[in-house]
Amino acid sequence: MKYPNGTGKNIRKQRLHPRQNHGHSNRGMTLEEDINVTNTYYLAAGKAIIHKKPTPVQIVKVNYPKRSAAVITEGYFKQPSTTDYNGIYRGRHIDFEAKETKNKTRFPLANIHEHQIKHMKLIVEHGGICFIIIRFAVFDETYLMPAELLFPYWDAKNDGGKKSIPYDQIIRDGFLIPFHYQARVNYLAVIDQLYFADKKM
């Protein structure tokens, strides 16, 4: 498998069997909550610095009941212009989106926006590590799909193709993320396998 930008790097695959850890990961937590817990563990353990990006807010009206205090009384959320998370790991920029679906058979591409894909393509072009984390809530399975493998599905959709990625295809193209008690969505284990297999920790 070659990256779309022609670098010729190989994506190494070491499959984990789907559902081998079924029933142990989220225990009622959302994917975002699980990732936030995981990132807190990574930071405390000195493994990586990765944070959720705050959602931009457009402030419309502010009251000043005191000179030293301001109260926002009206505002609205802007549409995020990039992905959910970014940071640094082992000297590389990490950037990813996280999506959860209740669909049993496919991942709808409507869950992703055009501006996010453009951002992800720029990250890849500049040598960053970029991916999407997809959780199938019904199966309690969470997959990492490198952005380079996501782009062809998006481009095909824009050319009139399928508007979703079949679950079976995500099993083939993606990587099941192992559950860890402290790192609930231990995506760095997959990143190590894909990008740092030839380097010692």
Cα separation, 34 vs 185, whole angstroms: 6
Phi-psi map region of 73: left, alpha, beta (phi>0 left; psi -120 to 50 alpha): alpha
Is residue 71 one of the residues assigned to a domain?
A: no
Is residue 180 one of the residues assigned to a domain?
A: yes
Is residue 59 one of the residues assigned to a domain?
A: no
Is residue 76 one of the residues assigned to a domain?
A: no
* Number of domains comprising the chain: 1
Handedness of CA 175, 129, 113, 82 (dihedral sign): positive
- H or E element, residue 193: helix 187-195
Rounded to two decimals, the pTM is: 0.79
Is residue 183 one of the residues assigned to a domain?
A: yes
Q: What is the extent of the structural domain holding 139?
A: 31-54+81-195
Handedness of CA 51, 148, 154, 30 (dihedral sign): negative
Is residue 201 one of the residues assigned to a domain?
A: no
Of residues 106, 102, 107, 148, the one with CA closest to residue 124: 148
Asked whether 174 and 166 are in contact (CB, 8 A), the reply is no
176 strand-pairing partners: 143
> 143-169 pLDDT, tens per residue?
999 999 999 999 999 999 999 999 999
pLDDT given for residue 104 in this prediction: 95
> 102-122 pLDDT, tens per residue?
999 999 999 999 999 999 999
> Running DSSP on this structure, what letter comes out for residue 159?
T
Whose structure tokens read 């993320």?
Answer: 177
Of residues 124, 102, 105, 110, the one with CA closest to residue 157: 110
Pick 68 or 23 by higher pLDDT: 68
* Range 196-201 average pLDDT: 77
Asked whether 58 and 71 are in contact (CB, 8 A), the reply is no
pLDDT given for residue 28 in this prediction: 55
Is residue 179 one of the residues assigned to a domain?
A: yes
Query: How far is the CA of 142 from the CAs of 41, 116, 131, in angstroms?
Result: 18, 20, 13
- H or E element, residue 97: strand 92-101
Computed over every residue of the chain, the mean pLDDT equals 84
pLDDT given for residue 23 in this prediction: 43
**What CATH code is carried by the domain that includes residue 140?**
3.40.1350.10
- H or E element, residue 117: helix 114-125
